[in-house]
Amino acid sequence: MKSFYFIVLLLFGSVLSADESVLRWAADAESGAPNVFYENGDLSKLVGFEKDIIDHIAKCLGRRAEFHQNDWDSLISGLQRNLYDIVINGFSPEEGKENSAIFSNPYYACGLSLIVRSNTDNIKSILDCSGAIVGVLRSSKAEGILTSSLKNVKVIGYPNEYCAISDLKNKRVDAILLDGQIATYYIRKLSGLKIVDELDETKYSIVSAPGNRELMTAINEIIGDMQRDGSLDAIVSKWDLHNTSYSRLCETSSKMETASSNSESSGKQDKSTVQYVKVLPFFIKAACVTLMISILSMCVAIVLGLCFAIMRVYMPKWISFFAISMIELLRGIPLLIQLFFVFYGLPCIGITLPPLVAGILTLGMNYAAYEAENFRAGMAAVPYGQMEAARALGMNQWQSLRHVILPQAFTFVLPPLTNDFIAILKDSSLVSLITIMELTKTYMLIASNSFNFFGMGAIVALIYFLIGLPFAQLAKLAERHLKLEKRAYSSRKIGGRYNR
């Protein structure tokens, strides 16, 4: 036994010692060109100009670079949880964040490019976007610029640039505002787009947690060396990312102090910057959107589910086979895949749905498969003699279903319907991936900008709970009204007969 513990400690110690020689860095490689991305979709070929910068920094530090994938919105929260050492993914220092994270000296700079379709003539500058729908990367600097400079512009945030460009080509948005190097990369790759305006300037910095000041000081020294010896310029030239903003950065870098001013800042988060009262109206508005999506989706699910159940039980075999196929298909494909297929896939065949319609329809169709099985079980719980009695009274099949079978089946279906509504309320968070500003997406935007995932998360969790609780109570009241318990008791078999 002692030898076993010795081996475990030895292995554990070797892992710890190995970790000391690893530089853990994170980025979002999903459609992250040209910063960090997988070349031609090959998950074994991680490339990008920021990846080259990290490789050079790791080499200078004498460490092995280890990549960690994370969603862009969650990169900073993962950094605070010590999942990795640094983040490099087009982050720029913003006011109010220095106390929660350390930003390195800038390694790149670019402007923001306004992209429109090639046949668009009414938008020639950012000022022409008044009243238009403009897409940006969510939680990006471009989002703040649009909302502050234009009053009646509708801004839609996207998880990655490809989704934004896809919606621009599919005419869901009028323009998109992206970082210059991203815009240039995709303009070269895709046809039918053009850049009409350049504005502002963004500087990119590596981000780390406040406790990694020594590491950030070393990284700042390496960035300065890369700027002086031309290795940084060689990486930028390799990816053809030269621009006037980067040239100005190179000119002023020699005049900048090597020490990182951000590293000297206090590591204590200023709680006064988190204004819970100010964000409550945004959460309440988003909760209303979530509730609306959930209710409408559940209505679609109930109607379609009831149709599928009737088709499966009471229709001819070929119709029943179609219903069974649809139920199994909708249950067998993940909801997220269905959502992306409806929103991003259908436009490829000429069917373009608004985000809200796509989200409601997808959630409703997915849950319709489950409701169909609930209704089928409810109808099976009604004794077959009820149908025979109704037909004997002169009712046709539809009248028997409507007046006799379904009212009784509904009493058995109500409890699982309530559970499914609470489930669809939570699954509605997935529509945040198709640009809908519901509760979860609002939480990610506010939390990622305030660096307060715990406090904001607690508020959102409470809101979800408060939304679902009344519906659970309403279901209990409905069950009492329908006297489910009394029905169940009175239908027990006693001596081989039902006690009526």
- Determine, yes or no, domain membership for 2: no
At residue 45 the predicted structure's pLDDT band, cuts being 50, 70 and 90, is: confident
With the C-alpha atoms ordered 315, 321, 326, 331, is the resulting torsion angle positive or negative? Answer: positive
Instruction: Using CB atoms within 10 Å of the CB of residue 267, give its burial: 0 to 12 exposed, 13 to 18 middle, 19+ buried.
Output: middle
Let me know: does 115 contact 193? Beta carbons within 8 Å. yes
What pLDDT does 195 receive? 92
Give the residue among 385, 362, 485, 482 at the shortest CA–CA distance from 434. Answer: 362
Residue 330 has pLDDT above 90, yes or no: yes
Tokens of 72: 């862009």
E strands in 118-186: 133-137, 154-158, 175-179
Q: How many domains does the chain have?
A: 3
* Pairing of the two strands 22-27 and 86-87: parallel
In a shared domain, residues 336 and 478 = yes
Q: 3-state DSSP call for residue 134?
A: strand
Question: How does pLDDT run across 232-256, given as a tens digit for each residue?
Answer: 999 999 999 988 888 888 887 655 5
Question: How does pLDDT run across 199-229, given as a tens digit for each residue?
Answer: 878 899 999 988 899 999 999 999 999 999 9
pTM equals: 0.64
> What are the phi and psi torsion angles at 238 (to 5°)?
-55, -40
Of 153, 170, 204, the position where a domain reaches its end is 204
Of 187, 204, 221, the position where a domain reaches its end is 204
Residue 415 has pLDDT above 70, yes or no: yes
The whole-angstrom separation of Cα 189 and Cα 37 is 15
What pLDDT does 193 receive? 93
Q: How many Å is the Cα radius of gyration of the chain? A: 29
- Determine, yes or no, domain membership for 311: yes
What pLDDT does 51 receive? 95
* Pairing of the two strands 133-137 and 154-158: parallel
In a shared domain, residues 40 and 63 = yes
What pLDDT does 482 receive? 63
In a shared domain, residues 173 and 240 = no
- Determine, yes or no, domain membership for 5: no
Q: Where are the alpha helices (DSSP H) in 382-452?
A: 384-392, 397-400, 406-427, 439-450
Q: What number is the average pLDDT over the span 425-434?
A: 87
CATH at residue 414: 1.10.3720.10
In a shared domain, residues 132 and 255 = no
Q: What number is the average pLDDT over the span 341-348?
A: 87
In a shared domain, residues 186 and 237 = no
Q: In terms of residue numbers, what domain contains 116?
A: 108-204
- Determine, yes or no, domain membership for 310: yes
Let me know: does 461 contact 367? Beta carbons within 8 Å. no
At residue 279 the predicted structure's pLDDT band, cuts being 50, 70 and 90, is: confident
What pLDDT does 72 receive? 79
What mean pLDDT value characterizes the chain? 81
The whole-angstrom separation of Cα 249 and Cα 251 is 5
Let me know: does 267 contact 210? Beta carbons within 8 Å. yes
Q: 3-state DSSP call for residue 104?
A: coil
Does residue 384 or residue 354 have the better pLDDT?
A: 354
- Determine, yes or no, domain membership for 10: no
- Determine, yes or no, domain membership for 417: yes
- Determine, yes or no, domain membership for 8: no
Residue 4 has pLDDT above 50, yes or no: no
CATH at residue 216: 3.40.190.10
Does residue 105 or residue 255 have the better pLDDT?
A: 105
In a shared domain, residues 332 and 452 = yes
Q: What number is the average pLDDT over the span 317-330?
A: 92
In a shared domain, residues 164 and 222 = no
In a shared domain, residues 63 and 185 = no
> What are the phi and psi torsion angles at 281 (to 5°)?
-60, -35
Could you tell me what percent of the chain has a pLDDT over 90?
Answer: 34
Of 204, 223, 244, the position where a domain reaches its end is 204
Tokens of 123: 């938008």
At residue 448 the predicted structure's pLDDT band, cuts being 50, 70 and 90, is: low
In a shared domain, residues 187 and 286 = no
In a shared domain, residues 365 and 473 = yes
